[in-house]
Structure 1
Amino acid sequence: MADSTALFNLDDLDLLASWDTPTICNALELLMPEVPLTAYTTRPGVPLDGPFQPMIGAARVGTIRARSKPAQPAADRFDWYDYVHARELPTIVVLQDLDDQPGAGAFWGEVHSKVHLRLGARGCVTNGSFRDTDAWAPGFKMLGGCLGPSHAHVHLVSFGEPVSVLGMDVRHDDIVHADHHGAVVVPRDCVKRLPEAVERIAAKERRTLELCDASDFSPDLMRRVLKQGHIH
């Protein structure tokens, strides 16, 4: 694995968790005006228990199927656990359900939420299903495709190779920021630059919101604001 601390460290990542994922996306647009649509989720995900505080970590990617028994030997779960285990940085699991209709069987529930939390993963982003929400490991965050009652024939197909989850393309060790709104891949060379970009965006938005409270607010006032730059 590449040196994760070459460009930033854990403190830099945890600082980015101070802001929600839409704010991170806004700041990325400032640094990278042409952020590709595949860099963030474009299909809705289901949060475990409503809104949750952002998570950020190095991606551990894998694929599953659940609708039928494996036609060939499944990937070894013990090797998977070694792969997910956090070392230099906390991890986030990004798991793609390859079935034509994802969600028939849940990989995630009471047991795997606790196992992965203990391995140092902060949470998961998946298009697959999850269950056991009343017995979920506290602190392990989830943005999934749907709730489901059964694990069916769920099995690991592969891991370590690129995946696409909820419209977002993710590779091994990508930095992923996620909350209940969705998830985004943060380029490594942007991690330390994002706080300043966040403040620039916030300053512009504060000015706009202040003008909205002005006694002389009008369409003409908004036209003048828009001429000074785009607002969200």
Structure 2
Amino acid sequence: MKPVTEPLPAALLADLARYDTPTICNAMEVVAPERRLTGFTSKPFVCPFPDLPPMVGYARTATIRSTSASSLSPADARAQRLAYYEYAGTGPGPRISVIQDLDGANIGFGAFWGEVNSSVHKALGCLGVVTDGSIRDIPQWAPGFQALAGMLNPSHAYVHLDGFGDDVCVHGMTVRSNDLIHADQHGAIVIPANLAAKLPEAAELCARREEPILGIARSPDFSLEKLKEALARSAEIH
């Protein structure tokens, strides 16, 4: 699967954002059934802002560590941070930060994300972050900036960038720089560029298939016989 190299139409991204992430996963099962076991988050996480709408954007990847100090000099560390911010704030947009914590058994020991980085990344054009590391400063967090994180944690510890722009694996989802990501309170999924335009139609198909089942399940006249009939009608919808 190749990541997005040319920006997709903004109207398509807006169309994809009309659906929640489980619906996009359902649609992916229709257009690419071979991807049923890959490409989406599959590990526990916390989402402090479940009421925010789905976000769709291009991945900006990075890795962090926090249980030991950076080996870079202060000047080199500042230069690395500025280079990362330039990377996070350029390229196809909107963007989503995807950051892997490399601290192994101590993952999440120090928080890279809080009031400052959420505000900076929002200003850089990012919609949110997907990270297996920790976050903090929830009351001071940048408004409207989504977060799918491994945990909450009060301290920075020695948190620092390890690198950026490389492949990462977060919550069981492997992501490359510029991959198209769809995410909400349920999790995230990588959308292959060649499948993105097919997903809205597939999502509507899934909804039509669910309609007769939900109709009888929510009806005061529900019966097993009517459920069987609804399942049969659903199977005939193509």
Normalization by structure 2: what TM-score? 0.89
1:62-113 per-residue CA deviation (whole Å, 9 max, x = no partner) reads 1000011124565811110111114432110000001012111111111111
Question: 1:230 Cα deviation (Å)?
Answer: 10
Question: 1:134 Cα deviation (Å)?
Answer: 1.0
The change in CA–CA distance for 1:36 and 1:162 in structure 2 (over 3 A counts) is farther
The amino acid of 1:204's aligned partner reads R
* Aligned pair partner of 1:79 in 83, 88, 107: 83
1:115-158 per-residue CA deviation (whole Å, 9 max, x = no partner) reads 11111011000000011111111121111011110111001111
User: Tell me, what secondary structure is at the counterpart of 2:128?
Assistant: strand
User: Tell me, what secondary structure is at the counterpart of 2:98?
Assistant: strand
Q: Could you say which residue in structure 1 is the equivalent of 2:188? A: 183
Question: 1:164 Cα deviation (Å)?
Answer: 0.4
The change in CA–CA distance for 1:50 and 1:230 in structure 2 (over 3 A counts) is farther
**Which deviates more, 55-64 or 27-36?**
27-36
The change in CA–CA distance for 1:190 and 1:2 in structure 2 (over 3 A counts) is closer
Q: Could you say which residue in structure 1 is the equivalent of 2:56? A: 56
Tell me, yes or no, if the aligned pair for 1:4 and 1:89 is still in contact at 8 Å: no
Question: 1:24 Cα deviation (Å)?
Answer: 0.5
1:199-229 per-residue CA deviation (whole Å, 9 max, x = no partner) reads 1011111121112245653333333444453
Query: How is 1:28-177 mapped onto 2 (pairs within 5 angstroms)?
Result: 28-71=28-71, 76-100=80-104, 101-177=106-182
User: Tell me, what secondary structure is at the counterpart of 1:78?
Assistant: helix
Count residues with an aligned counterpart.
229
The change in CA–CA distance for 1:206 and 1:3 in structure 2 (over 3 A counts) is same
CA RMSD for the aligned pairs?
A: 2.2
Question: 1:33 Cα deviation (Å)?
Answer: 1.0
Normalization by structure 1: what TM-score? 0.91
The change in CA–CA distance for 1:214 and 1:132 in structure 2 (over 3 A counts) is closer
C-alpha distance in 2, partners of 1:122/1:189? 23
Q: Which has the higher helix share?
A: 2
